[in-house]
Amino acid sequence: MPNRATGRQMALAAMGLAAAVLTAGLGVPPAAACCEDIEMIPQEYLGRYVHQHAPGEKSLTVVPVDIDPLGADPMTPWIVHVSTLNVRSGPSTSFSIVGTLSNGTAVSGIYNLVVESDEEWIEIEWNDGTAHISRTGVYRIHPTNQANIDEFGNLPIGQELVNRWWGVPISYEPDDLAEVPWEYTAQSPGRVYLLREEVVEAVTALIDAAWEDGVDFRVSSPYRSGPSQQTIYNRNVQNSGLNQRFSAPPGHSEHQLGTTVDFSSPRTGRFLRNEDPEYEWVAEHGESFGFRQSYTADNIEETGYIEEPWHWRYWGEEPEVSDGWLLY
Ligand SMILES: [Zn+2]
């Protein structure tokens, strides 16, 4: 398999986007490390797409990323979600700091992937020139999500537009969250797991059907609020580097939709893997209950995340968004 950055660079080249080259003194990116929030994710998935380059390599190639099948304005502002975000003269922490942005600041810019480091940086206008901020400190709301929230309060199921590049407000919380009966979860009684009402019905029906077939898996991660994702993400970036791909930025996690679950198996005590019979069962039957695996081996370039056999999103019977969007 080609390394991830090269694969995406090729995909973007196919889209007719040009790469630019900058120079900097780069160090070796930190290796991915495990931490408490992701202890159930199989080790072989962690850091799988971290791009390693030779120590002392000097050049940086940036490729603009602009993926939105719905055609939102690529200059839609990014919002700072960390207390202080450094503005740098180039797309790497080895460049000098030329200023800072504070929490809540909105800023427009071009989203670049740095091929050598596999980091994402946003090129912004700065003092009559340009400067760069790390994507790890900002999030961006898709205008369609905002319009739907304004009109309906809750995002219509199957029409939520959430991926690495587009998200929902960190404050968004569906108002129809309901408790998943504990026997369908990987938790002991007393710990409350929430999903949207319709999804609780769907996931319990799915697991009931699996049980009838003698297969057992449970809901291991349910709804997660924007602020809790913010805490998890900031810690994962700190521990595993700016190019980690297993943790979604706040506002960009499907778990915040209340429609998405991670499944684990009581048999193995960990998240589902491709080779597990429990995974094979969900892969065969999940879609007839409205669930699809979000991150597969086939859409790594489009989603920007690692393959996740345990992560399933409820789209309802008839997703109203385009097939193109389903890739994300
Ligand atoms: Zn997940």
pLDDT in tens, 225-281: 999 999 999 999 998 888 887 888 999 999 999 999 999 999 999 999 999 999 999
CA 311 to centroid of ligand 1, rounded, Å = 4
What is the dotted CATH code of the domain comprising 4-138? 2.30.30.40
At 113, list the tokens: 């992937």
Strands (E), 207-259: 218-221
CA 33 to centroid of ligand 1, rounded, Å = 18
Say whether pLDDT at 21 is over 50. Answer: no
Say whether pLDDT at 10 is over 70. Answer: no
pLDDT of residue 318: 61
Could you report the per-residue pLDDT of 279-317, keeping only the tens digit for each? 999 999 999 999 999 988 887 777 777 889 999 999 887
Dihedral sign, Cα of residue 95, residue 101, residue 102, residue 106: negative
CA 147 to centroid of ligand 1, rounded, Å = 26
pLDDT of residue 158: 85
CA 159 to centroid of ligand 1, rounded, Å = 18
CA 106/CA 108 separation, integer angstroms: 7
CA 226 to centroid of ligand 1, rounded, Å = 14
Lowest mean pLDDT among 4-13, 99-108, 126-135: 4-13
CA 85/CA 168 separation, integer angstroms: 20
CA 326/CA 328 separation, integer angstroms: 5
Dihedral sign, Cα of residue 309, residue 174, residue 256, residue 132: positive
Q: Mapping DSSP to helix (H, G, I), strand (E, B) and coil, where does residue 246 land?
A: coil
Could you report the per-residue pLDDT of 156-205, keeping only the tens digit for each? 998 888 888 889 999 999 999 999 999 999 987 778 999 999 999 999 99
CA 255 to centroid of ligand 1, rounded, Å = 6
221 versus 327: the higher-pLDDT residue is 221
Q: Report phi then psi at 240, rounded to 5.
A: -120, 0
CA 21 to centroid of ligand 1, rounded, Å = 35
- CATH 3.30.1380.10 placement within the chain: 143-326
pLDDT of residue 34: 30
Quick check: 59 and 21 in contact, CB under 8 A? yes
Sequential DSSP letters for 8-57: HHHHHHHTTPPPEEEE----PPPPP---GGGTTS-GGGTTTTPPP--TT-
CA 247 to centroid of ligand 1, rounded, Å = 9
CA 308 to centroid of ligand 1, rounded, Å = 8
- CB neighbours (10 Å) of residue 312? 27
CA 101 to centroid of ligand 1, rounded, Å = 30
167, 260, 273, 310 from 307: Cα distances, Å: 20, 15, 10, 9
Mean pLDDT throughout 207-211?
A: 98
CA 127 to centroid of ligand 1, rounded, Å = 40
56, 127, 170 from 250: Cα distances, Å: 33, 29, 6
Could you report the per-residue pLDDT of 26-43, keeping only the tens digit for each? 333 333 333 333 344 444
Q: In the chain, what is the greatest distance between 2 CA atoms, to the nearest angstrom?
A: 66
Select, from the ranges 64-68, 184-188, 193-197, 322-326, the one with the highest average predicted confidence (pLDDT): 193-197
CA 260 to centroid of ligand 1, rounded, Å = 7
| Percent of the chain surpassing pLDDT 90 | 54
CA 178/CA 55 separation, integer angstroms: 51
Could you report the per-residue pLDDT of 75-98, keeping only the tens digit for each? 899 999 999 999 999 899 989 999
CA 312 to centroid of ligand 1, rounded, Å = 7
- CATH 2.30.30.40 placement within the chain: 4-138
CA 246/CA 244 separation, integer angstroms: 6
- CB neighbours (10 Å) of residue 230? 18
Say whether pLDDT at 322 is over 50. Answer: no
Q: Which letter does DSSP use for residue 320 in this model?
A: -
Indicate the pTM of the whole model.
0.81
CA 310 to centroid of ligand 1, rounded, Å = 7
CA 153 to centroid of ligand 1, rounded, Å = 24
CATH number of the domain at 143-326, out of 3.30.1380.10, 3.40.50.300, 3.40.50.1370, 3.90.870.10? 3.30.1380.10
CA 275 to centroid of ligand 1, rounded, Å = 18
Q: Which long-range contacts (CB under 8 A, 24 or more apart) does 41-48 make?
A: 41/246, 41/271, 41/310, 42/270, 42/271, 42/273, 45/246, 45/306, 45/307, 45/308, 46/240, 46/246, 46/306, 47/240, 47/244, 48/245, 48/306, 48/307
Q: Letter for the amino acid at 233?
A: Y
